[in-house]
Amino acid sequence: MSEDDERQQYPPPDLEFASNKARNCNSTGSGSGHPEFQSTYPDQVLENVLENVLHFLTSRRDRNAASLVCKSWYRVEALTRSELFIGNCYAVSPGRATARFTRVKALHLKGKPRFADFNLMPPDWGAHFNPWALAMAKAYPWLEKVHLKRMSVTDDDLATLAELFLGFKELVLVCCDGFGTSGLGIFVNKCRQLKVLDLIESEVSDDETDWISCFPEGESNLESLIFDCVECHINFEALERLVARSPSLKKFKLNRYVSIGQLYRLMVRAPQLTHLGTGSFSPSDIVGQGDQEPDYVAAFAACRSLVCLSGFREIIPDYLPAIYPVCANLTSLNFSYANITAEQLKPIISKCHKLQTFWVLDSICDEGLQAVAATCKDLRELRVFPVDPREDSDGPVSEVGLQAISEGCRKLQSILYFCQRMTNAAVIAMSKNCPDLVVFRLCIMGRHRADPVTGEPMDDGFGAIVMNCKKLTRLAVSGLLTDKAFGYIGRHGKLVRTLSVAFAGDSDMALKYVLEGCPQLQKLEIRDSPFGDAALRSGLHHYYNMRFLWMSSCRLTRHGCQEIARAMPRLVVEVIRSADEEEMDDVVGTLYMYRSLEGPRTDAPKFVTIL
């Protein structure tokens, strides 16, 4: 880092014009008013310039780079960073973050690693929002936005957000837990400027509080209210009144306790919606044949701005035609809870020419995917989830569907595909047909399953993906895989940042190939693969560049992990024990290690040993 001894008497000529402009813009500088600034404080001027310029820098990677230029750039960048992103809440302490960045308006925090979503981590492991909430309250009372992913948030934390941050506007909780409807009630009641409350895939406990009624009376600023993951009844009348007094509401995603009749009543009050989650999409009561049903088609037709549709939590397919009027405008459609057939899908999807994001269940079969491929030429993201997520169930989708998609949707950038069978040929075809792929996640649900046509491992398929998809940054592998597959990844996956491995590989070489070959690797999550201490050692040169490494049910030993911990003081090496493992067992159940400026955390539960 260059020091202030680079300071010059006069500002460099190329900055003159900019400096002048800065003064005229009346920034925080000490403008003395006269055009000759040679005798004023060049550093101050430089800082003013920087401040103005850096305000435009939004990308955090660019900001990180800027902060490394020299001390004054570091200082100014810290002053102008208004959105703070911390990818691992334990990498840095709240105190350190608030000391460096003093003018933060938005905080984005991530906690637990992704495998925690699949019960691979015991509850109460950590990632508590509380210390952050308290630190923010002191440092950034003007904080407006908090975005949390996989953090543990309590009702008290919600109360803190609403009570101590007077201008608080936006709360987004993704895959969080630890709070309930009573916390929500306090939050919405006290947060008078609230614009966004998005609860996404979070676990919300039912405290039997009518939190919808807790929104204050009078016109609301709500722009987005997403609560489709909240698994409890809500007060519909209160919700209807809330919608009626929220003229800015654009994004609205209901939970499955809202019937289609109730959906209708809400939609007619909010035709300005752009994003709608339809709730159950089935009637709540027994509806007789002769009963007057509302005109659902008209309700959808009135929503001319609708571009994103989801929900369908307990769909009665008879009602699907109601959405025809909006199909032509849809860019995003989420049918991942709708157990519908290909025949039921076709009339819908054939109208969705603009679709870019499509999430669906494999109940539509290969035939349904072929229909998607035929119409959705602009498709960027596809996710196919299993209706029956077991290893040996019948697989309605296969290599046929994948092949069809690769041929029809050439602009595909991101795919998540669950299936029971897959061939190398189809994967290779996709690697060639879809060169823009950035995310490729294939989950062949049967472990160690080979190519059913050739009997070979899936090495060549994944090899083709890393070879041909030059923009690939995220990869998840499955099926029968030898070390060869990992050799390909190490050799060609130069941009890969996130890699997920399960039940794969033959030996330590596989992990070595990856750790030695992938310079951009940030997040590596591995389970049930035969990688041991030697493989772990081969990543020593790279671990400080990574956000984390997760290895569960592999072949690591405690002394192997200890070696790593000793070699790398800025790495926190956590060994997480399952119920019956003794503390001094040499075999490691789960290793979770991450770089951190703070050393071992103080809130680790008993089943976690930090080496």
Partner 1 sequence: MESGCSKKLLDLIPQEKKWGFIENQNGISHGSSEEKKLELKLGPPGEEDEPLVSFGYFSSMKSNAKQAHNKFPPAQEDHRGGAVLTASWAKNHHHQPKPPNCSQKRTAPGPVVGWPPIRSFRKNLATTSKLASESPTSLPHKVAIERKPAAPETRGKGLFVKINMDGVPIGRKVDLKSYDSYEKLSTAVDELFRGLLAAQRDPSADGPKQEEEKVITGVLDGNGEYTLVYEDNEGDRMLVGDVPWHMFVSTVKRLRVLKSSELSVINLGSSKKGKMVQN
Which of positions 335-354 make contact with partner 1 (CB under 8 A)? 336-341, 344
Closest to partner 1 by CB, 65 vs 387, is 387
Type of residue numbered 579 = A
Contacts (Cβ under 8 Å, ≥6 apart) of 70: 1, 2, 3, 4, 6
The CB-of-115 to partner 1 minimum distance in angstroms stands at 7
Residue closest to 161 by CA, chosen among 182, 196, 139, 186? 186
| 298 sits near partner 1 (criterion: CB under 8 A) | no
- Run of H or E including 419: strand 414-419
Among 33, 292, 579, 602, the residue binding partner 1 under the rule CB under 8 A is: 579
Exposed e or buried b for every residue in 455-485, given b needs 16+ CB within 10 A? eebbbbbbbbbbbbbeebbbbbbbbbbbbbb
Q: Does 111 bind partner 1 (CB under 8 A)?
A: no
Which one of 145, 275, 346, 555 is in contact with partner 1 (CB under 8 A)?
A: 555
CB 354 within 8 A of CB 380: no
317 binds partner 1 (CB under 8 A): yes
- In the list 209, 331, 414, 433, the residue contacting partner 1 (rule: CB under 8 A) is 209
Task: For residue 527, state whether it binds partner 1 (rule: CB under 8 A).
Answer: yes
Nearer to partner 1, 167 or 519 (CB): 167
Residue from 58, 64, 102, 578 that binds partner 1 (CB under 8 A)?
A: 578
Tokens of 291: 């009963």
Task: For residues 402 and 298, give the distance between their C-alpha atoms in angstroms, rounded to a whole number.
Answer: 36
The yes or no reply on residue 535 touching partner 1 (CB under 8 A) is no
Binding mask 243-262 for partner 1 (x = CB under 8 A): -------------xx-x---
CB of 536 to partner 1, least distance (A): 15
Please report, as residue ranges, which positions from 453 to 492 form the binding site for partner 1 (by CB under 8 A): 455-457, 480, 482
Name the segment binding partner 1 (CB under 8 A); options: 55-63, 389-397, 466-474, 512-520. Answer: 389-397
**Which pair of structure tokens corresponds to residue 370?**
């072929």
Q: Long-range contact list for 262-267, CB < 8 A, 24+ apart?
A: 262/236, 264/294, 264/296, 264/299, 265/240, 265/294, 266/239, 266/240, 267/299, 267/300, 267/302, 267/303
Sign of CA dihedral 6, 9, 15, 21: positive
Cβ neighbors of 291 (< 8 A, separation 6 or more) are: none
Closer CB to partner 1, 209 or 473, in the complex: 209
Q: Rule CB under 8 A: choose which of 68, 316, 567, 597 binds partner 1.
A: 316
When the beta carbons of 353 and 577 are compared against partner 1, the nearer one is 577
Strands (E), 290-398: 308-310, 332-335, 357-361, 381-385
Minimum CB distance to partner 1, residue 80 (Å): 30
Contact criterion met (CB below 8 Å) for 258 and 230: no
Distance between first and last Cα of the chain: 32
DSSP label at residue 116: G
Which listed range, 1-9, 189-197, 325-333, 428-436, lies at the site for partner 1 (CB under 8 A)? 189-197
Is residue 105 close enough to count as binding partner 1 by CB under 8 A?
A: no
31, 111, 180, 479: which one contacts partner 1 (CB under 8 A)? Answer: 180
CA angle 28–29–33, rounded 5-degree value: 125
> Is 318 near partner 1 (CB under 8 A)?
yes
Residues in 492-521 that interact with partner 1 by CB under 8 A: 502-503, 506
Q: Is 29 in the site for partner 1 (CB under 8 A)?
A: no
To the nearest whole angstrom, how small is the minimum distance from the Cβ of residue 297 to partner 1? 18
